Amino acid sequence: MKGLYLFVGFIFLSCLANSLQKKPKNNSFNKVQISLALTLPFTVSFPIDTSESSFLTDVQSVNKLIRIDLKYASKDNFMKIKLYERITHAYLQNDVAIRLGKCQTYLTSIFPSLHLLIYDAVRPLSVQRKMWNALDTIPVRERIKFVSNPANKSLHNYGAAVDLTICDENGIPLDMGAGYDDMRKVAYPSLEKSFLAEGLLTQKHIENRKLLRKIMRYQKFSGIPTEWWHFNACSREVAAKKYKVLENEP
Protein backbone atom coordinates (compact mmCIF):
# COMPACT_ATOMS: atom_id res chain seq x y z
CA MET A 1 0.00 0.00 0.00
CA LYS A 2 2.85 2.40 0.83
CA GLY A 3 4.40 1.68 -2.56
CA LEU A 4 1.12 2.62 -4.23
CA TYR A 5 1.02 5.94 -2.37
CA LEU A 6 4.61 6.71 -3.42
CA PHE A 7 3.83 5.84 -7.04
CA VAL A 8 0.73 8.04 -7.08
CA GLY A 9 2.70 10.83 -5.44
CA PHE A 10 5.44 10.54 -8.04
CA ILE A 11 2.91 10.75 -10.90
CA PHE A 12 1.25 13.75 -9.25
CA LEU A 13 4.55 15.61 -8.88
CA SER A 14 5.57 14.75 -12.43
CA CYS A 15 2.31 16.14 -13.82
CA LEU A 16 2.66 19.21 -11.64
CA ALA A 17 6.20 19.82 -12.88
CA ASN A 18 5.07 19.56 -16.50
CA SER A 19 2.22 22.00 -15.95
CA LEU A 20 4.52 24.50 -14.26
CA GLN A 21 6.77 24.62 -17.34
CA LYS A 22 3.83 26.10 -19.27
CA LYS A 23 2.96 28.77 -16.69
CA PRO A 24 4.71 31.93 -15.45
CA LYS A 25 7.15 31.37 -12.61
CA ASN A 26 5.50 34.03 -10.49
CA ASN A 27 2.13 32.28 -10.45
CA SER A 28 1.16 32.26 -6.74
CA PHE A 29 -1.33 29.40 -7.22
CA ASN A 30 1.44 27.15 -8.50
CA LYS A 31 3.54 28.03 -5.47
CA VAL A 32 0.73 26.83 -3.23
CA GLN A 33 0.46 23.62 -5.24
CA ILE A 34 4.19 22.99 -4.90
CA SER A 35 4.05 23.63 -1.14
CA LEU A 36 1.16 21.21 -0.69
CA ALA A 37 2.74 18.57 -2.87
CA LEU A 38 6.00 18.67 -0.96
CA THR A 39 4.47 18.68 2.53
CA LEU A 40 1.37 16.53 2.10
CA PRO A 41 2.95 13.05 2.58
CA PHE A 42 4.62 14.15 5.80
CA THR A 43 1.94 16.14 7.58
CA VAL A 44 -1.42 14.44 7.16
CA SER A 45 -2.69 11.20 8.56
CA PHE A 46 -2.32 7.89 6.80
CA PRO A 47 -4.08 4.54 7.16
CA ILE A 48 -2.28 1.79 9.04
CA ASP A 49 -5.09 -0.61 8.24
CA THR A 50 -7.92 0.78 6.15
CA SER A 51 -9.94 -2.40 6.46
CA GLU A 52 -10.77 -1.86 10.10
CA SER A 53 -9.49 1.50 11.37
CA SER A 54 -9.88 5.18 10.76
CA PHE A 55 -6.93 7.14 9.52
CA LEU A 56 -4.29 7.23 12.26
CA THR A 57 -1.29 9.53 12.47
CA ASP A 58 2.22 8.92 13.73
CA VAL A 59 2.44 11.52 16.51
CA GLN A 60 6.08 12.28 15.81
CA SER A 61 5.21 13.28 12.25
CA VAL A 62 3.21 16.12 13.80
CA ASN A 63 5.79 17.19 16.39
CA LYS A 64 9.27 15.67 16.40
CA LEU A 65 9.98 16.96 19.91
CA ILE A 66 7.64 14.36 21.39
CA ARG A 67 9.52 11.30 22.68
CA ILE A 68 8.27 7.70 22.48
CA ASP A 69 8.73 4.71 24.81
CA LEU A 70 5.97 2.25 23.96
CA LYS A 71 5.81 -0.02 26.99
CA TYR A 72 3.68 -2.69 25.32
CA ALA A 73 6.12 -2.96 22.42
CA SER A 74 8.60 -4.32 24.98
CA LYS A 75 8.49 -6.44 28.13
CA ASP A 76 8.73 -3.36 30.33
CA ASN A 77 5.08 -3.42 31.40
CA PHE A 78 2.86 -4.90 34.10
CA MET A 79 2.36 -8.12 32.10
CA LYS A 80 6.11 -8.57 31.51
CA ILE A 81 5.47 -9.71 27.94
CA LYS A 82 5.64 -7.99 24.56
CA LEU A 83 2.09 -7.22 23.47
CA TYR A 84 2.77 -5.26 20.28
CA GLU A 85 4.52 -7.12 17.52
CA ARG A 86 4.15 -4.57 14.72
CA ILE A 87 3.22 -1.30 16.39
CA THR A 88 6.49 0.56 16.95
CA HIS A 89 5.25 4.16 16.73
CA ALA A 90 2.66 6.11 18.69
CA TYR A 91 -0.47 6.48 16.54
CA LEU A 92 -3.51 8.62 17.33
CA GLN A 93 -6.46 9.94 15.38
CA ASN A 94 -5.18 12.79 13.20
CA ASP A 95 -7.06 15.55 15.03
CA VAL A 96 -5.95 14.13 18.38
CA ALA A 97 -2.31 13.93 17.24
CA ILE A 98 -2.44 17.56 16.13
CA ARG A 99 -3.76 18.62 19.53
CA LEU A 100 -1.02 16.65 21.29
CA GLY A 101 1.58 18.29 19.06
CA LYS A 102 0.29 21.67 20.24
CA CYS A 103 0.66 20.50 23.83
CA GLN A 104 4.33 19.83 23.17
CA THR A 105 4.72 23.27 21.58
CA TYR A 106 3.18 24.80 24.71
CA LEU A 107 5.51 22.78 26.95
CA THR A 108 8.51 23.89 24.89
CA SER A 109 7.47 27.53 25.26
CA ILE A 110 7.57 27.14 29.05
CA PHE A 111 10.42 24.67 29.49
CA PRO A 112 12.48 24.30 26.27
CA SER A 113 14.40 21.27 27.58
CA LEU A 114 11.33 19.18 28.47
CA HIS A 115 9.46 16.72 26.26
CA LEU A 116 6.25 14.74 26.37
CA LEU A 117 7.10 11.03 26.58
CA ILE A 118 4.42 8.66 25.27
CA TYR A 119 4.01 5.24 26.89
CA ASP A 120 0.95 4.14 24.90
CA ALA A 121 -1.36 5.58 22.27
CA VAL A 122 -3.68 3.57 20.00
CA ARG A 123 -4.16 0.09 21.44
CA PRO A 124 -5.75 -2.73 19.45
CA LEU A 125 -8.86 -4.22 21.02
CA SER A 126 -7.22 -7.65 20.84
CA VAL A 127 -4.49 -6.39 23.20
CA GLN A 128 -7.12 -4.81 25.45
CA ARG A 129 -8.66 -8.26 25.89
CA LYS A 130 -5.30 -9.77 26.87
CA MET A 131 -4.80 -7.08 29.52
CA TRP A 132 -8.32 -7.52 30.87
CA ASN A 133 -7.96 -11.28 31.12
CA ALA A 134 -4.53 -11.01 32.76
CA LEU A 135 -6.14 -9.20 35.70
CA ASP A 136 -8.97 -11.69 36.16
CA THR A 137 -8.11 -12.22 39.83
CA ILE A 138 -9.15 -8.62 40.51
CA PRO A 139 -12.90 -7.99 40.92
CA VAL A 140 -14.43 -6.22 37.93
CA ARG A 141 -15.36 -3.13 39.95
CA GLU A 142 -11.67 -2.69 40.80
CA ARG A 143 -10.28 -3.94 37.49
CA ILE A 144 -12.00 -1.21 35.49
CA LYS A 145 -9.95 1.36 37.40
CA PHE A 146 -6.86 0.13 35.56
CA VAL A 147 -8.06 -1.47 32.30
CA SER A 148 -11.26 -0.71 30.44
CA ASN A 149 -13.58 -3.65 29.88
CA PRO A 150 -13.02 -4.64 26.23
CA ALA A 151 -16.76 -5.22 25.92
CA ASN A 152 -17.22 -1.47 26.36
CA LYS A 153 -14.14 -0.47 24.36
CA SER A 154 -11.41 1.86 25.56
CA LEU A 155 -10.60 5.27 24.14
CA HIS A 156 -7.18 3.77 23.46
CA ASN A 157 -8.89 1.38 21.03
CA TYR A 158 -10.17 4.38 19.08
CA GLY A 159 -6.82 6.18 19.09
CA ALA A 160 -8.37 8.90 21.24
CA ALA A 161 -6.44 8.43 24.50
CA VAL A 162 -2.78 8.62 25.38
CA ASP A 163 -0.61 7.49 28.30
CA LEU A 164 2.35 9.76 28.82
CA THR A 165 4.65 11.67 31.14
CA ILE A 166 7.24 14.43 30.84
CA CYS A 167 10.96 13.77 30.45
CA ASP A 168 14.08 15.93 30.37
CA GLU A 169 16.44 16.41 27.42
CA ASN A 170 18.19 13.14 28.30
CA GLY A 171 14.94 11.18 28.20
CA ILE A 172 14.74 10.78 31.98
CA PRO A 173 11.11 11.01 33.17
CA LEU A 174 10.16 13.49 35.85
CA ASP A 175 9.45 11.85 39.20
CA MET A 176 5.70 11.50 39.60
CA GLY A 177 5.87 9.54 42.87
CA ALA A 178 4.50 6.40 41.17
CA GLY A 179 5.48 4.62 37.99
CA TYR A 180 3.54 3.95 34.83
CA ASP A 181 0.82 1.31 35.26
CA ASP A 182 1.35 1.48 39.03
CA MET A 183 -1.83 0.01 40.49
CA ARG A 184 -1.25 1.40 43.97
CA LYS A 185 -3.52 4.18 45.13
CA VAL A 186 -0.51 6.50 45.36
CA ALA A 187 -0.88 6.79 41.57
CA TYR A 188 -4.42 8.20 41.93
CA PRO A 189 -4.66 11.93 41.12
CA SER A 190 -7.83 11.96 43.22
CA LEU A 191 -5.90 11.02 46.39
CA GLU A 192 -2.83 13.23 45.99
CA LYS A 193 -3.66 15.57 48.86
CA SER A 194 -3.99 12.77 51.38
CA PHE A 195 -0.78 11.07 50.26
CA LEU A 196 1.02 14.42 50.39
CA ALA A 197 -0.19 14.90 53.95
CA GLU A 198 1.01 11.39 54.86
CA GLY A 199 4.42 12.03 53.30
CA LEU A 200 4.05 9.32 50.65
CA LEU A 201 4.10 12.00 47.95
CA THR A 202 6.32 15.07 48.00
CA GLN A 203 5.51 18.58 46.86
CA LYS A 204 7.79 18.00 43.88
CA HIS A 205 5.77 14.94 42.84
CA ILE A 206 2.61 17.04 42.96
CA GLU A 207 4.20 19.88 41.00
CA ASN A 208 5.33 17.49 38.28
CA ARG A 209 1.86 15.96 38.01
CA LYS A 210 0.25 19.38 37.92
CA LEU A 211 2.60 20.45 35.13
CA LEU A 212 1.58 17.44 33.06
CA ARG A 213 -2.11 18.17 33.64
CA LYS A 214 -1.60 21.84 32.79
CA ILE A 215 0.07 20.97 29.49
CA MET A 216 -2.65 18.49 28.54
CA ARG A 217 -5.52 20.77 29.55
CA TYR A 218 -4.14 23.33 27.10
CA GLN A 219 -5.72 21.24 24.33
CA LYS A 220 -8.66 20.03 26.42
CA PHE A 221 -7.35 16.56 27.22
CA SER A 222 -8.90 15.26 30.44
CA GLY A 223 -7.38 12.99 33.05
CA ILE A 224 -8.98 10.24 35.11
CA PRO A 225 -9.08 9.79 38.92
CA THR A 226 -6.94 6.61 39.09
CA GLU A 227 -4.00 7.11 36.70
CA TRP A 228 -1.80 10.23 36.61
CA TRP A 229 -0.50 9.24 33.14
CA HIS A 230 -3.80 8.72 31.27
CA PHE A 231 -5.53 11.45 29.25
CA ASN A 232 -8.63 11.30 27.07
CA ALA A 233 -9.15 13.42 23.99
CA CYS A 234 -12.94 13.14 24.18
CA SER A 235 -15.71 11.05 25.69
CA ARG A 236 -16.31 7.45 24.67
CA GLU A 237 -19.65 8.45 23.16
CA VAL A 238 -18.02 11.07 20.93
CA ALA A 239 -15.25 8.68 19.90
CA ALA A 240 -17.80 6.01 18.91
CA LYS A 241 -19.46 8.51 16.55
CA LYS A 242 -16.28 9.94 15.03
CA TYR A 243 -13.82 7.05 14.88
CA LYS A 244 -13.46 3.34 14.27
CA VAL A 245 -12.02 0.84 16.73
CA LEU A 246 -8.68 -0.72 15.85
CA GLU A 247 -9.52 -4.39 16.29
CA ASN A 248 -6.08 -5.92 15.65
CA GLU A 249 -2.53 -4.86 14.93
CA PRO A 250 -2.13 -3.70 11.32
Task: Give per-residue pLDDT as tens, 57-99.
Answer: 999 999 999 999 999 999 999 889 899 999 999 999 999 999 9
Domain co-membership, 148 together with 72? yes
Q: What is the pLDDT of residue 138?
A: 76
Domain co-membership, 216 together with 94? yes
Q: In what order do the strands lie in the sheet with 161-167?
A: 67-68, 115-120, 161-167, 227-232, 222-224
User: If we measure between CA atoms, which residue out of 195, 37, 214 comes closest to residue 109?
Assistant: 214
Q: Does residue 249 lie in a domain region?
A: no
Domain co-membership, 15 together with 75? no
Query: Is this model's pTM higher than 0.85 or not?
Result: no
Count CB neighbours of 19 within 10 A: 11
Q: What is the pLDDT of residue 93?
A: 97
Q: Does residue 131 lie in a domain region?
A: yes
218/30: higher pLDDT: 218
pLDDT tier at 17, thresholds 50, 70, 90 = very low
CB 159 within 8 A of CB 243: yes
Domain co-membership, 102 together with 173? yes
Q: What is the pLDDT of residue 41?
A: 34
Q: Does residue 103 lie in a domain region?
A: yes
Quote the number of domains for the chain: 2
32/107: higher pLDDT: 107
Q: Does residue 248 lie in a domain region?
A: no
Domain co-membership, 3 together with 63? no
Print the domain residue range for 38: 1-43
Q: Is the pLDDT of residue 112 over 90?
A: yes
Kindly state the average pLDDT of the residues 165-169. 98
Q: What is the pLDDT of residue 144?
A: 73
Q: Does residue 202 lie in a domain region?
A: yes
Domain co-membership, 134 together with 11? no
Domain co-membership, 39 together with 51? no
pLDDT tier at 28, thresholds 50, 70, 90 = very low
Q: Does residue 166 lie in a domain region?
A: yes
Domain co-membership, 17 together with 54? no
CB 162 within 8 A of CB 202: no
Domain co-membership, 33 together with 85? no
Q: What is the pLDDT of residue 229?
A: 98
Q: Does residue 62 lie in a domain region?
A: yes
CATH code at position 195: 3.30.1380.10
Q: Is the pLDDT of residue 5 over 90?
A: no
Q: Does residue 229 lie in a domain region?
A: yes
Domain co-membership, 122 together with 231? yes
Domain co-membership, 97 together with 190? yes
Q: Is the pLDDT of residue 25 over 70?
A: no
CA 114 to chain centre: 17
Domain co-membership, 175 together with 220? yes
